[in-house]
Amino acid sequence: MRSFGCQSMIAPLRSVLLKGPGEAFRSQEHLEAEWERFGYLECPNYATALEEYEAFSAILRRHVDEVLFLPRDDDAGLDSIYTHDPVKITDRGAVLMNMGKPERRGEPAATGRYLEQLGIPLLGAITEPGRMDGGDVLWLDEETVALGRSYRTNDEGIRQFLDLAAPSIERHMTFDLPHDLGPEACLHLMSVASLVDSDLAVVYPPLMPVRLRQYLLERGYTLIDVPSGEYETLGSNVLAPAPRLCMLPAGNRTVAAALRHHGAEVHEYPGRHISYFGTGGPTCLTRPLLRRW
């Protein structure tokens, strides 16, 4: 029987689900027809995206036992390269999200079909009027979860998630996210806080909920503050395949140096076309299926 469960941001990543640009972007012609509708900053170059993704996935292959790939699905568009958001995996099974971005509404069901093939049970799906993105769910430990109330996640979505995920969650806290660039932009809780060890986090202070910052400090975290220029290049979106083993988009020199100063092993990948243009960093590009100590 397949092992699954991911109620941690830092426990060693044993199994991860990806979707490459070949399946999500499809072709240069498809990108040119769709990138503006999906709100990308620029149109990615398909050939370059393939090269960047190979570098990204090669790092994961070196550190993760099992790397799986979602197939192409007609219900999923460009953003399906960001496999984190459509589903959350608990120790009892998967909860399918109801995405706040209309162009992504088909992704949860498409991911759910693949998870069922893997033998991962589906606990249920968030339904209207509930809305929720996986990027608004931040595991603080295996029993405690922080939830972001944002333009992509509403109160009804949070209520349904907690019902479906019970009894896996013992404690939860909800934090309001600011307006920032408005409802068309993507701002998740995980956009402004990345846990990379039980006592180390990378955060972007200007958009971080005050109470979350206070809570992490109360728990003894050292916080690495991301400068504004590197927030724009996704420097606050750091993936930890294991404690203090970090992946982030290349070019975020201040963040990378600070992580290394605090004893982290840092792996940078070229991400202009697979991350920056679609505003999705390494956590967005990965759907952990199993994290286990």
Contact between 88 and 134 under an 8 Å Cβ cutoff? The reply is yes
What is the residue whose two structure tokens read 């979602």? 70
Yes or no: say if 63 and 245 are a contact pair by the CB < 8 Å rule: yes
Burial 243-260 (b: 16+ CB within 10 A, else e): bbbbbbbbbbeebbebbe
**Measuring CA to CA, which residue among 118, 108, 113, 115 is closest to residue 87?**
108
Other CB atoms within 10 A of residue 202 CB: 27
Kindly tell me if the per-residue pLDDT of 1 is higher than 90: no
H or E element: which one contains 291? strand 287-291
In 3D space, the residue among 11, 20, 16 whose CA is nearest the CA of residue 289 turns out to be 16
The residues, ordered by sequence, that sit 6+ positions from 184 with a Cβ below 8 Å of its Cβ are 39
Question: Using an 8 Å Cβ cutoff, are 278 and 78 in contact?
Answer: yes
Q: What pLDDT does residue 239 have?
A: 98
Q: What is the pLDDT of residue 123?
A: 98
How would residue 62 be classed by pLDDT, with cut points 50, 70 and 90? very high
Backbone angles phi, psi at 95, to 5 degrees: -110, 120
The model's pLDDT over 224-283, given as tens digits with 9 standing for 90+, comes to: 999 999 999 999 999 999 999 999 999 999 999 999 999 999 999 999 999 999 999 999
The yes-or-no verdict on residue 87 having pLDDT over 90 is: yes
Burial class for 117, CB neighbours closer than 10 Å (0-12, 13-18, 19+): exposed
CA distance linking residue 50 with residue 46, whole number of Å: 6
